[in-house]
Structure 1
Amino acid sequence: MPPPDRARAESDSLSWADDPIGRALTPKNVVPQGKVDEEEKAAPPWGRIAAGVGALVAVIVAVAVVVAVATRDTEPAEPTAAPPVPASTKRAATATTSPAELSCPAKREGNLTIGNGPGSTANGADAILGFQHSFYTDRSGVKARTFVAPDAANVSQAEVIQNAINDVIPVGTSYCVRIVEVTPELFDADLTEHRPDGTTTVYKQRITTVNRDGKSLIFTIDER
């Protein structure tokens, strides 16, 4: 700009224009969402639902009768242990106490830059690092905008960026950005985001920078 109950982390490349982060950061590139999945619109007939509920109630009553007969005239059973914490509660606790871990060793070699450090405005790659660090680590829309040109073509203002951080990015999300310099002011960036629930997403971006008063600043962020 972080154990999950899932068997494995999801990893895919999400459309920058369709993703909520992309829509918040680059509002001029919004692409309307597709139609709601037909399966989500479909609902089972209410008659089937009622029949299913009735059958379930009948099974529960039958089980209760069997248990009552089997346990009659016996000693009271030992108190049962407290039920386990629901999985959703465990995930919530993990999200706030255990930051996700995404390995991101810093590297600079030729036209390649990899890392998640604080960046600077010394060059385009550093400006990109600075923007993403402000977004994910500092969680500051105001600071993120310090790495963006005042006349940027399609990057949102600080307040909109801050709302995206607050509403979309869970605390503890980690990231790593791989930047390839195409020209001194044009960069291809692969931003890998890893959230505390184990979800991993890769955003492929094309970023242009400009020089303003001796500082390299971001001018556009587009999907690649």
Structure 2
Amino acid sequence: MRDETLEYFWSQSWIKKRDAAEVRWSHAVNSRSRLTEALAGPTHMIEADIISGHDSKEPIMAHPPDTDSDITLKEWLEGVKEHNKGIKLDFKSMEAVSPSVILLNEVLTDSRHPVWLNADILSGPGGQVRPLEPQAFLSAVQALRIHTVLSLGWTTGWTAGTDNPGYSWDMVHKMEEICETLKHPVTFPVRAALMAQSFSQLMWLLQQSDRYFSPQLGQLVTLA
């Protein structure tokens, strides 16, 4: 996990050592009840999914195939900002990105909370879902005035009982081409079941910049 995120939770005395394994996550916090539960519990990082609302086009918290939610992104952010927890927002539609950036700038103006923005921007092993267009996503998030970690991944699939391919050299080379000029810290979320057959490729990717890291592959890997 990126040093700044660990340092934040260490400074809050929420973790006993600077180790990504110490950080507790709540995933798919896409409803009012799930948010209330996550805010009241021992979670450090809250992850949620964002789509564009079916009627108003306002960003809402939902994961496809769901198309509706009982909480908007604005309401979600207003609930989170009064707490010291970090957030990870997973964008599931390109239409939701620019309106979400505006809301993040408005609601989290003075925030010190860790903020991670996630999007699958490339097709990966077995990926059937269309990824977000890389340059459109990265261009939109450049308007953010708060410090953010970019979590950039691949769409993937998994079929039980078959020989599932891992992340290819072409996939990691394409990701490096996209990320090499970015100024943000970048994490690469990977499918755990595909890590063993992709270890060489993923380690190569992490070693291309001291801004790159992956919680699943341990602490930040720096250039030799």
- TM-score, length of structure 2 as denominator length: 0.22
Which has a greater percent of strand?
Answer: 1
- TM-score, length of structure 1 as denominator length: 0.22
Higher relative contact order (CA 8 A, sep 6+): 1
